[in-house]
Amino acid sequence: MNTILKQLALSAVIIAAASVPVAANTYIETPTLAHKVAAGDLPPVAKRLPETPSVVRLEKSGESYGKHGGRMRILMSRAKDIRMMVVYGYARLVGYNKNFIIEPDILEKVDVEEGRIFTLHIRKGHKWSDGHPFTSEDFRFFWEDVAKHRKLSKSGPNRIFKIGGKLPKFEVLDAETVRYTWQAPNPFFLPALAKARPVFIYRPAHYLKQFHIRYVRKKKLKRMAKKAKKRNWRSLFKSKARLYRNTNPELPSLQPWFITNKMPAERFIFVRNPYFHRVDKMGRQLPYIDQVIVGIANKKLIPAKSGAGETDLQARSLFFNNYTFLKQGEKRNNFKVQLWSSAKGSQMALFPNLNAADPAWRDLLRKADFRRALSLGIDRHEINQVIYFGLARESNNTILPESKLYKESYSKKYATFDLKKANKLLDGLGLTKRNSNNIRLMKDGRPLDIIVETAGEETEQTDVLELIQDSWRKIGVKLYTKPLQREVFRRRVIAGSSIMSVWFGLENGVPTSSSSPEELAPTRQLQLQWPKWGQHFNTSGKAGELPQIKEVKELSALNKEWRLSASPQRREEIWHRMLALHADNVFSIGLIASVPQPVVVNGNLRNVSPKGIYNWDPGAHFGVHRPDTFWFDTSKSKKRK
């Protein structure tokens, strides 16, 4: 059994011990739900909870037990970003804790045998937000009627289900137990369930069967689809079944809050789930906060609105260059600005497109010495001092010192500012001719003008690129910045129209040897340095191109070996080899890491850590910090409006 599965087995024991139910007569009813209970419209809290709810002991993390009530305001820049409430709510079958160890959450426990047999135990009496039981039928419905239904899933179940090209055997053991059995270990299954955007392996069968061809006559479904202005029953079903998107207020939920209004809107209201499965040690059902109000605002205005006190919890759309401005409004508008850490391998990295459509550029970008020269031609110390006041780390795009796999050579190789060495490498590539502006000429006579494309969302990127522009001129390279809309940006990279782009670095900068190293190999089309090679892997060779560089081929082989290996020692060796290959070949050019993330917190909001890790995956931004335990303390202030 590999390390992460051992961790999970241990966590399961801990959670089982922590889930001994509080005595039913000690559960504390939520004041805002008391009138519904009194009227008979809602069962008492003891009957709404699972028999063994997840008991949260806040004293372990130095937090306080709170009180029910209040509305928490947050801001998003697009209406579709209300899906982030599933991220922040972070109710998962299994999820990461603050130490990034996977443990049961919605599930009572998980039994893992040989890393390939996963038995999931549902909490008895757990219910969806509408009060219907959450049972093994919801897993069966998803597996048989959604994931394996060719009309709904043309390519079949998600790739995390396929090990060696084979799907698992799925079994329903009883109403609270399901089992997945693979022929070989599946190290991706549990992490996929714990992601910020998880793979949902269940659906509310009692609700969705009314839209499914297996349970409703075709003519009736056709009428329903027409009334809903959908092309067919498949489109109707999918529009009703999206657990992540928050676009259907009628869809039952297991999250701490669920949405109550539809798009279009400028304000979305999420209310507490009366059947949520967590309670605190004192007997209060979580979440503490009654409502979350998601306001939609122009992204550029969110820092100003945050500084004016128009949000209670905000990090999204805030950047380090907003910090000074935000600090000025703290006392005036009763909020605190906290600086959290990032777990990304690099706050910002340049990605040479090794699949560029232009043959001359493609050939040049595939030369390791060219990428090394560009990296050596960047003054990271200047970037750190000028943009981040010296608070960040100058580094390649690699793992962070907080990871046990970290070696200084991974972050420093070819990352020091050395114009002499950079010029020597470029000369060695035959790029010795220059034009009247002292810019080197490519072999076909074109000037060495590198257009770095951005998603056009952050001035921070533009500021950093301006500094790189100055230092690259000293090695005979001209840098231009081209801001684009995000979708256009991605399409151009995938098509090979762009030669270089800028984006965040490694998503998981704090891996262990049991974490998947797939980010280091071509595995996805959206990998900006090799989209076509990633597409080839992701489609099992049906699209894209095979890698053409020896070292990239080795990365692919190592990633495959890691997937098949059950040896923790060999997995660690694979990680180190892949990290060393990246450091030596500079497949992406990391600029700066560990940039502090400003977090605006209402002065009365409790249990928000003054120093946390703000990361997408693992982390789910606020998710691993459990916003359901945040609460408003108004004992020493005026009553909130």
**What are the residue ranges spanned by the domains of the chain?**
348-593
C-alpha 364/C-alpha 442 separation (Å) is 9
Statement: residue 175 has pLDDT above 80: yes
Q: How does pLDDT run across 251-293, given as a tens digit for each residue? A: 999 999 999 999 999 999 999 999 999 999 999 999 999 999 9
* 67-93: average pLDDT: 98
DSSP-derived secondary structure for 140-168: HIIIIIIIT-TTT-TT-S-GGG-BTTBPP
- Tell me the percentage of the chain whose pLDDT exceeds 70: 95
Rounded Cα–Cα distance for residues 168 and 115 (Å) = 13
Which is it for the CA torsion 517, 202, 250, 29, positive or negative? negative
Instruction: Label residue 564 by pLDDT band (50, 70, 90).
Output: confident
Transcribe 472-537 into DSSP letters.
Answer: HHTTT-EEEEEE--HHHHHHHHHHT--SEEEE---S-SS--TTS--GGGSS--TT-TT-HHHHHHH
Token pair for residue 518?
């797939």
pLDDT value at position 8? 36
Cα 487–Cα 491–Cα 495 angle in degrees, nearest 5: 175
| Residue 611: count of CB within 10 angstroms of its CB | 10
Structure token pair of residue 576: 């180190």
| pTM confidence score | 0.89
Which residue from 322, 325, 303 is spatially nearest to 314, judged by alpha carbons? 303
- Residue 20: what pLDDT? 52
Amino acid at residue number 449:
D
Cβ pair 400, 590 in contact under 8 A = no
- The predicted pLDDT at position 383 comes to 98
Mean pLDDT computed over 290-307 = 98
d(C-alpha 513, C-alpha 495), whole Å:
34
589 bridge partner residues: 350
Supply the DSSP symbol for 59: G
Q: What is the mean pLDDT of the chain?
A: 94
Of 421, 406, 617, which is closest to residue 504 (Cα–Cα)?
617
Dist CA 275 CA 41 (whole Å)? 13
For the ranges 9-18, 559-568, 591-600, which has the lowest average pLDDT? 9-18
Question: Across the strands, what pairs with 73?
Answer: 293
Average pLDDT over residues 544-563: 97
Distances from the Cα of 543 to the Cα of 8, 326, 395, 519, 535, angstroms = 36, 47, 34, 19, 6
Q: What single-letter amino acid sits at 620?
A: A
Q: In what order do the strands lie in the sheet with 313-314?
A: 313-314, 597-602, 335-340
Q: What does the pLDDT read at residue 565?
A: 87
CA–CA distances in Å: residue 11 to residues 91, 177, 320: 16, 18, 36
Confidence class for position 458, pLDDT limits 50, 70, 90: confident
DSSP assignment, residue 4? Answer: H
pLDDT over 60 at 639, yes or no: no
Whole-angstrom Cα distance, residue 156 to residue 150? 7
121 pLDDT higher than 90: yes
| φ/ψ of residue 381, rounded to 5 | -65, -40
Average pLDDT over residues 26-53: 96
pLDDT tens-place string over residues 368-421:
999 999 999 999 999 999 999 999 999 999 999 999 999 999 999 999 999 999
- 235 closest CA partner among 245, 243, 226: 226
Instruction: Please tell me the predicted confidence (pLDDT) of residue 19.
Output: 53
Query: Which range among 12-16, 63-67, 322-326 shows the weakest confidence by mean pLDDT?
Result: 12-16
User: Alpha-carbon distance 589 to 383, whole Å?
Assistant: 14
Which architecture characterizes domain 348-593 according to CATH? Answer: Roll (3.10)
